[in-house]
């Protein structure tokens, strides 16, 4: 006999990203979505000078997960909160969301026809009765080889607005996929949540991924 929903472990995605949600849904998990109120720029600015890129994305993911973990008392008594943050490492510099067409154009001028590393930080918190009982963090890195869009193609892509709100000013699973020649690494990590890494981190907090399959977010 299956257990009631209130006794099962719920996965809470601390992200507004539709792409991350769809990765999880396609992989058998319909997450509860709770968006954090973390000021990403403030978190990054507060880190010590010389923090490596991997440390930056992990701390951003941790801040998002912890922010949401403090707000889920209305959910099941056993939850796992997943926070993620992605940034593109180009010439040793991390690039997040461009936000404006002008910045997106500059970013593409730097990366077109080249390769860069998409780094995604993951933080998994096991929350029992409102208390964080376990934490696991790590990051994944995938090399992205970019095509060189024609000027009119880049104009049209930027005009869609898609690249303005995504790390590195591109997507793999959307219109930006036309301008990615190939990748070396995990495709799901480039989309924003790496399934192989997440599976390992869930194990670190005492969960097998199959325990989360098929549970509805409702």
pLDDT digits (tens, 9 = 90+) for 16-35: 899 999 999 999 999 999 99
Active-site residues, by number, are 85
> How many other β-carbons are positioned within 10 Å of the β-carbon of residue 148?
13
* pLDDT at site 130: 84
- pLDDT tens series, the chain, 218 aa: 333 334 578 999 999 899 999 999 999 999 999 999 888 889 988 999 999 999 999 999 999 999 999 988 777 688 999 999 999 999 999 998 999 999 999 999 999 999 999 999 999 999 998 899 999 999 999 999 999 999 999 999 999 999 999 999 999 999 999 999 999 999 999 999 999 999 999 999 999 999 898 755 55
> Average model confidence (pLDDT) for the chain?
92
Using CA atoms, how far apart are residues 74 and 24, in angstroms rounded to an integer?
22
Query: Are the C-beta atoms of 97 and 166 separated by less than 8 Å?
Result: yes
* pLDDT at site 2: 34
* pLDDT at site 6: 43
What are the tokens at 171?
A: 């997507």
Q: Give the pLDDT confidence of 103-114 residue by residue, as tens digits.
A: 999 999 999 999
> How many other β-carbons are positioned within 10 Å of the β-carbon of residue 70?
13
- Which fold, 5-212? Maf protein (3.90.950)
Q: Burial-class residue 119 by CB neighbours within 10 Å (0-12, 13-18, 19+).
A: buried
What are the tokens at 167?
A: 């790390």
* pLDDT at site 76: 67
What are the tokens at 108?
A: 């593409």
């Amino acid at each position: 006999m299956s257990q009631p929903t209130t006794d099962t472990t719920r996965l809470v995605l601390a992200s507004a990203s539709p792409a991350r949600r769809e990765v999880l849904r396609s992989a058998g998990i319909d997450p509860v979505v709770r968006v954090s109120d973390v000021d990403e720029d403030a978190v990054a600015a507060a880190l010590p000078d010389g923090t490596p890129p991997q440390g930056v994305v992990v701390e951003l993911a941790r801040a998002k997960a912890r922010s949401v973990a403090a707000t889920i008392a209305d959910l099941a008594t056993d939850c796992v909160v997943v926070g993620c943050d992605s940034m593109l490492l180009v010439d040793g510099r991390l690039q997040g969301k461009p936000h404006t067409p002008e910045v997106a154009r500059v970013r593409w001028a730097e990366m077109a026809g080249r390769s860069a590393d998409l780094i995604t930080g993951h933080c998994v918190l096991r929350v029992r009765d409102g208390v964080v009982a376990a934490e696991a963090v790590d990051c994944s890195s995938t090399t992205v080889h970019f095509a060189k869009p024609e000027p009119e193609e880049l104009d049209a892509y930027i005009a869609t607005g898609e690249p303005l709100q995504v790390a590195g000013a591109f997507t793999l699973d959307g219109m930006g996929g036309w301008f990615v020649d190939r990748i070396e690494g995990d495709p799901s990590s480039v989309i924003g949540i790496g399934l192989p890494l997440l599976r390992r981190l869930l194990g670190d907090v005492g969960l097998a991924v199959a325990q989360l399959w098929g549970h509805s977010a409702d």
